[in-house]
A and B are shown apart, each in its own frame.
Chain A
Amino acid sequence: MITAHGLTKRYGPRTVVDDVSFTLEPGTVTGFLGPNGAGKSTTLRMLTGLVPVSAGSALVDGRPYAGLPNPGAVVGTLLDASAVHPGRTGRAHLRLLADAVGVARPRVEEVLALVGLADAGGRRIGGYSLGMRQRLGIAGALLADPPVLVFDEPANGLDPEGIRWLRDLLRGHAARGGTVLLSSHLLGEVEHTVDRLLVIGQGRMVADGSVATLLGAEGAVVRAADPARLAAALEAAGLPVRHGDDGALVVPGADPAAVGAVAAAGGHALVDLRPVSRHLEDLFFSLTA
């Protein structure tokens, strides 16, 4: 479990992360969203001890990151895929990491195969594409198969197949009881991968909740064979109606079940009835604007 409490980072008079708190539970994938410069990367670096905190604390399994006996065995981290020496081969890079973490050499070959770099492991990293460097970074994070994964923009440079593979990997990790913190600007990708969202804007946490809660229903959309009659019936039942596109009726704040009940009582034939859901993009811009 990861707990951040009141994390704050100041550079002189400028506060880049302000009183950020959250708790990450095992078995979940948490998306960490925010516009560029919102403080996502600084928060992740404070979490992992790379950037000293100005105030607050971050604990992994009840200890500061630097207090973990073997951090690489507990937290697999990918913060910057380009933070590798271009003159080393991918295999040499992973072997150095494996020795630092304390896993056997054969594991290097396993993770190279896992991320699809088995044949490229002997090439210098300087010749890798961004997507290959991302895969190499993910391979390094998975060496010890740690219970916690912290990834910053891991989908950058990945092709659609790679993005789907990454989604399955993260969901599978959470399904095995792991904890995943995923920072990304690819909102569609996050929406399909995470259980929970943390949204940060201008250094402050502006939303923290499950995807269902944050993107949940805000009303109902209904289409009927006779929209005018149904609209009148809904208004009579105390449900205000807006006329949407293509003859649809939007009933703000209404449960679809209530709309369906009115329609059934009046014998109205329905073509479509569903909740109105916000898209992550709408939520993101409304919270971080």
Chain B
Amino acid sequence: MTTTHSPQTGAIPTRPAVRAGAAAPATLVALEVRKSLSTRSGKALAVVSVLLAPVAGVLASAASEESLGSVTGPIGAMGMLTALILLSLGVLSTAGEWTHRTVQTTFLLTPRRGRVLAAKATAVALLGGAFAAVSAGLTAGVLATMEEGVSWSGVGGALVAVVASGAAFAVIGAGVGAALTNTPAALTGLYLVILGALPVARTFAPEVGARLDPAEAVLALAQGNAVASSVAVLATWTVLALTAGAVVTSRRAVA
């Protein structure tokens, strides 16, 4: 159904004022934030990433009669859940552009593709960190309301770990999405590796988890265990994903 009005004819208005130079990095980051939140899938991911952990916390607290001991474990577990959702946010920000071919317009207006990927990584890191912070705060509120006699020692470190993990997972998703340039492939591949291959491998070689599994790294970080190696695992995933994404982004033709 075409419901257009007649286009205007006659003289085109005076040439508008246009920025002379390239967009500033902050402008590009703000654009990418708006892109991520301007679609139904982006909005849904934002809501789910914020609410899933506290809702799961309510259900777990209601169902369990055992004392938790410390809140750092539940906050870490719920933070891991949030981080796994934020992987998708990152994937959609990069692979989604190739899937919908909007990458064409993006690169036409900002041909220096490295700037685009840097802006996307920064944007999803900010969004991931923010959503993880809100989610972790709500989860802590749920625990404070529903659990009695638990230890709150180390909760500050756990919250920092969850926020940092949320940012890191979103960036990992953006990097893998940029490397694969295909949303279903990136999502399936990431979740198969993190939720399938690594747990299976861990049953045969438990040290694999400590060395490779980013989800386990989130749990360990939140509880203040193996901090250096957990940070190294998350950093390695982040750097490898972004490097692969940068290589493909810089070379791939937009057909």
Measured CB to CB, the closest approach of chain B to A140, in angstroms, equals 7
Bound-state CA distance A87–B131 (Å) is 22
Q: Judging by beta carbons under 8 Å apart, are B18 and A102 in contact? A: yes
**Is the CB of B12 closer than 8 A to any CB of chain A?**
yes
Beta-carbon contacts of B82-101 to A below 8 Å, as 1s and 0s? 00000000000000100011
CB-CB under 8 A for A100 and B7, given A86-B100, A92-B38: no
What total of A-B pairs shows CB separation below 8 Å?
Answer: 149
Bound-state CA distance A100–B109 (Å) is 7
Measured CB to CB, the closest approach of chain B to A224, in angstroms, equals 45
Q: Please tell me the number of chain A residues within 8 Å of chain B, measured between CB atoms.
A: 62
**Is the CB of B253 closer than 8 A to any CB of chain A?**
yes
CB-CB under 8 A for A73 and B18, given A52-B251, A66-B112: yes
Query: Which residue of chain A lies nearest to B253 when distances are taken between CB atoms in the complex?
Result: A51
Query: Which residue of chain A lies nearest to B99 when distances are taken between CB atoms in the complex?
Result: A85
Query: Which residue of chain A lies nearest to B254 when distances are taken between CB atoms in the complex?
Result: A50
Bound-state CA distance A5–B183 (Å) is 37
Bound-state CA distance A103–B15 (Å) is 10
Bound-state CA distance A45–B1 (Å) is 31
Chain B residues, Cβ within 8 Å of A212: none
**Is the CB of A23 closer than 8 A to any CB of chain B?**
no
Q: Judging by beta carbons under 8 Å apart, are B102 and A101 in contact? A: no
Q: Judging by beta carbons under 8 Å apart, are B254 and A145 in contact? A: no
**Is the CB of A114 closer than 8 A to any CB of chain B?**
yes
**Is the CB of A218 closer than 8 A to any CB of chain B?**
no
Q: Judging by beta carbons under 8 Å apart, are A49 and B107 in contact? A: yes
Beta-carbon contacts of B1-20 to A below 8 Å, as 1s and 0s? 11111111101110111111
Q: Which 6 A-B pairs have the closest CB atoms?
A: A102-B19, A66-B111, A83-B101, A116-B7, A50-B254, A87-B39
8 residue pairs bridging A and B, Cβ less than 8 Å apart = A45-B254, A48-B108, A51-B253, A69-B22, A70-B21, A100-B31, A115-B4, A118-B5
Q: Give me 5 other A-B pairs in contact (C-beta within 8 A), A103-B16, A116-B7 excluded.
A: A49-B111, A52-B251, A79-B108, A87-B39, A96-B31
